[in-house]
Amino acid sequence: MSTLAANAPGATGGGLADVAASEATLRRFLHGLPGVDQVGLESRAATLGTRSIKTTAKAFAIDLAISMIDLTTLEGADTVGKVRSLCAKGLSPDPTDRTAPHVAAICVYPDMVATAKDALRGSDIQVASVATAFPSGRAGMPVKLADTAEAVAAGADEIDMVIDRGAFLSGRYLEVFEEIRAVKEACRRADGSSAHLKVIFETGELQTYDNVRRASWLAMIAGADFIKTSTGKVAVNATPPVTLLMLEAVRDFRAATGTQVGVKPAGGIRTTKDAMKYLVMVNETLGDDWLSPHWFRFGASSLLNDLLMQRQKLRTGRYSGPDYVTVD
């Protein structure tokens, strides 16, 4: 069932262009979205987490999950060497088994984009860069746009921006909308093509599920290519219910507008079992159309090692250990 409210302005004809005509229309639209059934959402997410996935299906899911990873290093202590070794790991995650797929992207801070781009030359792994004063988003617009433009100029294929949660929580939706629009504009390259824009909500700071639904629609209307749960820098990161809610939002958005938007849960996904739960949710909510690295990503770093250990277990029949994957 579509969550698009019947009374939402602009819902007819699939056009949502006039929704953001003014602060008032945008607010009316976002607050016109139906409320989230918290109990239902959480129990649905919990039920989908109980599926048992074994043998060949598990092998498929592990390889799919590896190919969906945005392998991430976002530390103050990042060095050129660390980014290079992370890129090498992304290219060939399991040096003892060349059949392991490579990851989808390497996610770094803007100043490391050139390094990553250089290390990944010749491969089709994307370089994603966080931008807009990540992770807090507390900077002036010119700084955020310059941050984005610098990353794009350095060769970033994807930009992970954070929204201004302060503005969103105070109800200044149009400000957030304009911000996403402006960053989207800054993603444009000289040759006319454009870097993919992922919009991070930091759902752990949005307080309610209703706010997550509103933020999802706001970002999609503003032109996000991907919506992403979290920065990984706060206490509450991606959770199954929040991700399920965002998956429903992109499903309904496509039904309303015909535009497909990707989803990226990030932070706190550490085990193969967790990853499987998310893949089950994607398949059950969105189907095959989203089961590819183009439309679904995991923002993670330690998840990859657990996937590789499980992969080795399936191949050899014996449990692997941390001594048999790279340290990072």
Partner 1 sequence: MSETAMRIEVFKTYKLYVGGKFPRSESGRVYEVTDAKGQWLANAPLGTRKDARDAVVAARAAVKGWSGTTAYNRGQVLYRVAEMLQGRREQFTAEVAAAEGLGAKKAAALVDAAIDRWVWYAGWTDKVAQIAGGANPVAGPFFNLSTPEPTGVVGVVAPRAGHGFSLLGLVSVIAPAIATGNTVVVAAAEQAPLPALSLGEVLATSDVPGGVVNLISGRTADIAPTLASHQDVNALDLAGAIDPEGPGAAAALEAAAADTLKRVVRPAADPSAADWTASPGTGRLLSFLETKTVWHPMGI
- Residue 320 makes contact with partner 1 by CB under 8 A: yes
Q: Which residues sit opposite 196 in a β-bridge? A: 158
Q: 201 with 227: CB under 8 angstroms?
A: yes
Q: Rank residues 60 and 324 by Cβ distance to partner 1 and give the closer one.
A: 324
Q: Rank residues 288 and 323 by Cβ distance to partner 1 and give the closer one.
A: 323
**Of 157, 160, 225, 274, which residue is the catalytic one?**
160
Output the six-digit token pair for 182.
Answer: 């402006």
- Residue 203 makes contact with partner 1 by CB under 8 A: no
**Of 157, 228, 252, 306, which residue is the catalytic one?**
228
Total of residues contacting partner 1 (CB under 8 A): 9
**Of 264, 274, 277, 306, which residue is the catalytic one?**
264
Q: Which of 171, 318, 326, 328 binds partner 1 (CB under 8 A)?
A: 318
Q: 3-state SS of the chain: helix, strand, coil percent to 5?
A: 50, 10, 40
- Residue 13 makes contact with partner 1 by CB under 8 A: no
- Residue 52 makes contact with partner 1 by CB under 8 A: no
- Residue 272 makes contact with partner 1 by CB under 8 A: no
Q: Rank residues 272 and 285 by Cβ distance to partner 1 and give the closer one.
A: 272
Enumerate residues 170-199 that contact partner 1 by CB under 8 A: none
Ranges of beta strands (E only) in the chain are 69-72, 105-108, 126-131, 158-162, 196-200, 226-228, 262-264, 298-300
Helix (H) or strand (E) holding 277: helix 272-285
Distance of CA 122 to the CA centre of its chain: 24
DSSP labels, 50-111: T----HHHHHHHHHHHHHTEEEE---TT--HHHHHHHHHHHHSS-TT-TTSPPPSEEEE-GG
Bridge-based pairing state of the strands 196-200 and 226-228: parallel
- Residue range at the interface with partner 1 (CB under 8 A); choices 38-46, 159-167, 212-220, 320-328: 320-328
The alpha-carbon radius of gyration of the chain (Å, integer) is 19
Enumerate residues 297-316 that contact partner 1 by CB under 8 A: 312
Q: Which of 322, 326, 327, 328 binds partner 1 (CB under 8 A)?
A: 322
State yes or no: is 160 an active-site residue.
yes
- Least distance (Å) from partner 1 to the CB of residue 316? 8
Q: Which of 226, 317, 326, 328 binds partner 1 (CB under 8 A)?
A: 317
Q: 148 with 161: CB under 8 angstroms?
A: yes
Q: Rank residues 181 and 313 by Cβ distance to partner 1 and give the closer one.
A: 313
Q: Rank residues 98 and 318 by Cβ distance to partner 1 and give the closer one.
A: 318
- Residue 323 makes contact with partner 1 by CB under 8 A: yes
State yes or no: is 289 an active-site residue.
no
- Residue 321 makes contact with partner 1 by CB under 8 A: yes
What SS3 state is found at 227?
Answer: strand
- Least distance (Å) from partner 1 to the CB of residue 308? 12
Q: Which of 319, 326, 327, 328 binds partner 1 (CB under 8 A)?
A: 319
AA identity, residue 311: R
Q: Rank residues 10 and 93 by Cβ distance to partner 1 and give the closer one.
A: 93
| Closest residue by Cα to residue 177 from 15, 287, 11, 22 | 22
AA identity, residue 252: D
Q: What are the residues binding partner 1 (CB under 8 A)?
A: 312, 317-324
Known catalytic residues are 160, 228, 264
